[in-house]
Amino acid sequence: MRVVFSNYAKLELEDAARFYNLQHAGLGNRFKVEVKNAALRIAKYPTAWSNESGEVRKYLLHKFPYKLLYSIESDHIFIIAVAHQHRKPNYWVERDEL
């Protein structure tokens, strides 16, 4: 199944990668690879992860304190947010792209 990132999720991904690259050269690139691998797993097994809120599911990254929040649409997976697990819970709920 095809995976589509919201504009907000794309910005969050880039911001986090930039932050990690400032902390240690190449770390942001490793973060992006983990997010890409997570998106591939979600596309392959979309119902394997638990619900966060309503129909929105969450995939916890293994090496970084982030989660992908996504919904299963009729023809694609929609990544709503690339969210830090310990900051501002549910900040993404009010987004206009949902």
- Residue 80: predicted pLDDT: 94
CATH number of 2-86: 3.30.2310.20
**By mean pLDDT, which of 5-9, 12-16, 36-40, 83-87 is the weakest?**
83-87
- Residue 86: predicted pLDDT: 85
What average pLDDT does range 67-88 have in this prediction?
93
User: How large is the angle between the packed helices 7-23 and 27-44, nearest 10 degrees?
Assistant: 140
Q: Is the pLDDT of residue 90 over 70?
A: no
